[in-house]
Amino acid sequence: MSQHATSDSFNHGPDRSGPRHTAPATTPSPADIKRWRQYLADERAEAAVYRDLAQNRRGEERQILLALAEAEGRHEAHWLQLLGDQAGRPRPASLRSQFLGFLARHFGSVFVLALAQRAESRSPYAADPTATPAMVADEQIHEEVVRGLATRGRNRLAGTFRAAVFGANDGLVSNLSLVMGMAASGVGSSVVLLSGVAGLLAGALSMGAGEFISVRSQRELLAATRPTQITLAAAPSLDIEHNELLLVYLARGMSREAAEHRVAERMGLLDCDCDPSLSLQPELPEARDEHEAVGTAWSAAASSFCFFASGAIIPILPFLFGMTGILALVLSAALVGVALLFTGGVVGLLSGTSPASRGLRQLGIGMGAAGVTYLLGLAFGAVVA
């Protein structure tokens, strides 16, 4: 029986509030049974992923994740209803769903949400007539919900992580280019190794110092914009008729009404039935998010140094182990290629795009830079010779 024929036996009806749990009028084909059982296993796995993620969240995010799990449970009920007695023993979820579940149980990070976002965007229900319109709409909305949650996590990623990922990529590309260029110029393998070690140390120190200055400067810039409490001490001595305190509050972006109200309150002149929302409110400390990694200048510098070095050491590994000549260069390029695919995949995952395409892009750029440097090394070696 074709899928189209099977779909005609279901009454989806105009109600889009949830799946229609009506039994098929005809016996489904073995292909239908197999497909529905896989859907059932994946829905159960995805619901478990959201519940596992919810355990590491609080407040609104926890409620959102539990609501997503509940929706997956409704989809599960739909497939159970269609399968009836043929549901059989639970099938294993797809490898993708199992991998998501593993990450959710052991890490519970933004990476899981980024993967879940891609999984929701590739739901097969839109092309399957046995899925109800409500289920198709659910999956489309789920993608946007998970995108929103993943965006929160992406925004929390601090400079330390950024320095780690891109520091490693810089180390890979720059040191591979250096090694390729030096080797192409015709110098001995010991000189190539020495150049690679020098490039590693120089680049790592430069990256660490640059990241330290960048983060420290950013923090100092932000600190300079925070209001001080000087108004508390200076207010009693101000000239009431020429009250510069009004300018302070206007400069902070308050409306004139709110600024005048605040000035009167500071000066002890408030004697009116005013809007209470304009009055001074106690400053509450910002709640710390346990999933937010706050980057410091030292941690960002250390991370940048270490990850640049971890990337830069890969191109010189063959030379460290005594290899020479073209074989060492080929192995060096191969090792760097694998590492570039990985770092590019991580960037693609966090950006909600295809990890494969981003990995290949990273690989192409890195190998292109190394290839150009190799050609320049050949030209330089020929000129010197």
- Which residue bears the tokens 């070696």? 381
Asked if the structure places residue 238 within a domain, the reply is no
Looking at residue 18, its pLDDT comes to 46
Question: Residue 10 and residue 248: Cα distance in Å, rounded?
Answer: 68
Question: Residue 115 and residue 376: Cα distance in Å, rounded?
Answer: 41
Shared domain for 31 and 145, answered yes or no, is yes
- Which residue bears the tokens 């994946």? 42
What is the extent of the structural domain holding 31? 24-156
**The pair of three-digit structure tokens given for residue 152, joined into one six-digit string:** 């929160």
Shared domain for 130 and 174, answered yes or no, is no
Question: Residue 64 and residue 49: Cα distance in Å, rounded?
Answer: 13
Shared domain for 100 and 172, answered yes or no, is no
Question: Residue 146 and residue 156: Cα distance in Å, rounded?
Answer: 15
**The pair of three-digit structure tokens given for residue 13, joined into one six-digit string:** 């009806």
Mean pLDDT over 289-308 rounds to 66
Lowest mean pLDDT of 122-126, 262-266, 337-341, name the range.
262-266
Shared domain for 177 and 44, answered yes or no, is no
Helix axis angle, 30-55 relative to 59-83, nearest 10°? 160
Shared domain for 42 and 190, answered yes or no, is no
**The pair of three-digit structure tokens given for residue 113, joined into one six-digit string:** 């949400």
Shared domain for 43 and 167, answered yes or no, is no
Question: Residue 140 and residue 223: Cα distance in Å, rounded?
Answer: 42
Q: Name the domain count of the chain.
A: 2
C-alpha separations of 40 from 59, 204, 296 in Å: 29, 50, 46
Asked if the structure places residue 89 within a domain, the reply is yes
322 DSSP assignment: T
Shared domain for 77 and 181, answered yes or no, is no
Q: What is the pTM of this model?
A: 0.57
Q: What is the 3-state secondary structure (H, E, C) of 228-256?
A: CCHHHHHHHHCCCCCCCHHHHHHHCCCCH
Q: What angle do CA 326, 327, 329 make, to 5 degrees?
A: 65
Asked if the structure places residue 272 within a domain, the reply is no
Tell me the range of 15-19, 98-102, 313-317 where mean pLDDT is highest. 313-317
Asked if the structure places residue 281 within a domain, the reply is no
For residue 268, with 0-12 CB atoms within 10 Å meaning exposed, 13-18 middle and 19 or more buried, which class applies? Answer: exposed
Q: Which of 122, 140, 156 is the last residue of a domain?
A: 156
pLDDT digits (tens, 9 = 90+) for 299-339: 777 878 888 899 999 999 999 998 888 899 999 999 999 99
Q: Is the pLDDT of residue 194 over 80?
A: yes
pLDDT digits (tens, 9 = 90+) for 31-48: 888 899 888 888 888 888
Of the candidates 385, 377, 341, the residue with the CA atom closest to the CA atom of residue 179 = 377
Shared domain for 89 and 185, answered yes or no, is no
Question: Residue 334 and residue 367: Cα distance in Å, rounded?
Answer: 10
Asked if the structure places residue 91 within a domain, the reply is yes
pLDDT digits (tens, 9 = 90+) for 330-365: 999 999 999 999 888 877 776 666 778 888 998 999
